[in-house]
Amino acid sequence: MVITAKDDMRLELQSLLDFFGCDATVELEEIEEGDKITDKFRFTSQDVTHFYEYTFNIDASLTDLHKKSLRKRITKNQFYSILSKELNKTLPWGSLTGVRPTKLARDLIEYGEMKEYLVAELLQRDYFVSKDKAELVANILKNQRCIIRNDNLVDLYVNIPICPTRCIYCSFISSELDKVKDMVDDYLDALIKEIRVIKDIVKEKAYIVRTIYIGGGTPTVLSAKQLDKLLREINFPATEFTVECGRADTITDEKLDVLKNNGVTRISINPQTFCETTLKRIGRKQKNIEVLEAYQKALARDFVVNMDFIAGLPGEKLGIFKRTINTALELYPDNITIHTLSLKRGSVLFDNKDLVQEKDIEKMVDYAESTLVKNGYKPYYIYRQKHQLSGLENVGYFRDNHVCVFNIDSMEETNTIIGVGANAISKRVFNLEKRLERQANVKFIKDYIERIDSTIEKKKEFFK
């Protein structure tokens, strides 16, 4: 537990303590005397208490914002050094706790604090990031050349938070189809109402919709007819249009034809693992044969295909994970995304932590990265979540030129995203002012249907 007077600092230090997997108590007292700051730490674990004190100066000529972020960085580094010494352990991401390591590096480059060719060295020196992870960030930055900072280029996200069944590690608000099937048609009608307003906003603001992403959930739980009704409304001439099919058992020829006929260019088929025993254990009904059939159908229609996998699934050892990655390579999809399992409050797994084995997790993630890179894939986006095993990360890989621009835009927060549907978040980016504003729609399907008119009014106001 971390005890300190400042809430924002407490949350960040607590994340670091969680990544160390340590149940120590650390108290921090910060004393300010002009530009001079003294941090006093009291570390207590079992019967041992140790005291640490650091004094540093913050340049008075910096802006308040810059002073605040520098101060936070210094305190986090001190905290990391204490934990590392006390627990005799280092973390792959050092003192970095944020969701977007590449965004941090890009900001530092744009603020003139870092040169791009020195990113890997400086992340190691200033944030204790391991050499491998620092080089991963540098590589990803190189593979994100498609970023265009232009306030008129926007991405559209449509949320279908419905799934056939619930995976045991899931903490999303996604509902099981059986429980909401009577609401699906009303949900689609509400979505279409919001999309029509978005069309007016796009026209008025002279926005160009660069990419479209229909995610969830599992959008292909919708019937072919329902999908067609929705997609006919989303008729922006975007260059990239993704539908996250997710579960192979929801993919049919008819649905893929509907996607193709409505301009979809990319789909995601997410096996998560090729071990069927694990699939049963995590609450997914799909069979490997269904993944293969769905993939064949997708290739026959010329879709760009992504496949998601998770390292650290309950009961999986290194050997099983390696087999999954090797099978994925035989299929050779355009994109492969490797997630590290995240133990989230609200998931079934969170209450059954004994199922989780963290032992080989770093080896799994390293194996996936080195094997994919050896076989021609390159990393192109990355994000971290709270409570990921061993503080690791999720990385998207591409081969040839098939990066998913939406994934980059949304992770790097370089473009405005218009979010439609229950629990969708819109982000309006003001590139020149280097700031963004967020707006969230209501969370649950039922509330979204009931409050669609007020949701639309709020959306109009947000994009005014």
What's the min distance (Å) between Cβ of 400 and ligand SF4? Answer: 27
The radius of gyration of the chain from alpha carbons, rounded to an integer in Å, stands at 23
H-assigned helices in 44-176: 64-87, 101-110, 119-127, 131-142
Q: What is the DSSP string of 369-392?
A: HHHHHHTT-EEEEEE--TTBGGG-
Residue 236 or 406: the one with the smaller Cβ distance to ligand SF4 is 406
- The angle formed by the CA atoms of residues 221, 161 and 447, to the nearest 5 degrees, is 125
Do the beta carbons of residue 188 and residue 231 sit within 8 Å? no
What's the min distance (Å) between Cβ of 168 and ligand SF4? Answer: 9
Site for ligand SF4 in 283-312 (CB under 6 A): none
Q: What is the DSSP string of 86-105?
A: HHT---TTTT--SS-HHHHH
Give the range of 139-147, 168-176, 301-309, 379-387 binding ligand SF4 by CB under 6 A.
168-176
Single out the residue of 71, 166, 210, 384 in contact with ligand SF4 (rule: CB under 6 A).
166
Give the range of 163-171, 178-186, 307-315, 456-464 binding ligand SF4 by CB under 6 A.
163-171
Residue nearest ligand SF4, Cβ-based: 170
Give the range of 11-19, 161-169, 191-199, 221-229 binding ligand SF4 by CB under 6 A.
161-169
Pairing between β-strand 378-383 and β-strand 335-340 as defined by DSSP bridges: unpaired
In angstroms, rounded to a whole number, what is the distance separating the alpha carbons of residues 325 and 307? 11
Do the beta carbons of residue 201 and residue 460 sit within 8 Å? yes
In angstroms, rounded to a whole number, what is the distance separating the alpha carbons of residues 172 and 181? 18
> Quick one: residue 77, left, alpha or beta (phi over 0 = left, psi -120 to 50 = alpha)?
alpha
Give the range of 72-80, 104-112, 166-174, 179-187 binding ligand SF4 by CB under 6 A.
166-174
Q: Tell me which DSSP letter residue 47 carries.
A: T
Give the range of 52-60, 164-172, 192-200, 387-395 binding ligand SF4 by CB under 6 A.
164-172
Do the beta carbons of residue 108 and residue 417 sit within 8 Å? no
Single out the residue of 78, 95, 102, 174 in contact with ligand SF4 (rule: CB under 6 A).
174
Residue 177 or 456: the one with the smaller Cβ distance to ligand SF4 is 177
Q: Does the protein bind ligand SF4 through residue 172 (CB under 6 A)?
A: yes
Residue 167 or 429: the one with the smaller Cβ distance to ligand SF4 is 167
What's the min distance (Å) between Cβ of 272 and ligand SF4? Answer: 8
What's the min distance (Å) between Cβ of 215 and ligand SF4? Answer: 9
Single out the residue of 58, 62, 108, 170 in contact with ligand SF4 (rule: CB under 6 A).
170
Give the range of 159-167, 290-298, 374-382, 427-435 binding ligand SF4 by CB under 6 A.
159-167
Q: Which uninterrupted H or E stretch holds 252?
A: none
Tell me the site size for ligand SF4, rule CB under 6 A. Answer: 10
What's the min distance (Å) between Cβ of 268 and ligand SF4? Answer: 11
Query: Could you tell me how far CA 216 lies from the centroid of its own chain?
Result: 13
Instruction: Give the contact letters, 108-147, x = binds to ligand SF4 (CB under 6 A), - = no.
Output: ----------------------------------------
Report phi then psi at 347, rounded to 5: -95, 155
Residue 76 or 284: the one with the smaller Cβ distance to ligand SF4 is 284
What's the min distance (Å) between Cβ of 173 and ligand SF4? Answer: 9
Render the burial of 80-97: b for 16+ CB within 10 Å, e for the rest.
bebbbebeeeebbbbbbb
Site for ligand SF4 in 411-440 (CB under 6 A): none
What's the min distance (Å) between Cβ of 337 and ligand SF4? Answer: 13
In angstroms, rounded to a whole number, what is the distance separating the alpha carbons of residues 94 and 131? 10
Instruction: Give the contact letters, 215-254, x = binds to ligand SF4 (CB under 6 A), - = no.
Output: -xxx---------------------------x--------
Nearest to 50 by CA among 58, 42, 62, 61: 42
Residue 62 or 173: the one with the smaller Cβ distance to ligand SF4 is 173
Which is it for the CA torsion 12, 16, 19, 22, positive or negative?
A: negative
List residues near ligand SF4 by CB under 6 A: 163, 166-167, 170, 172, 174, 216-218, 246
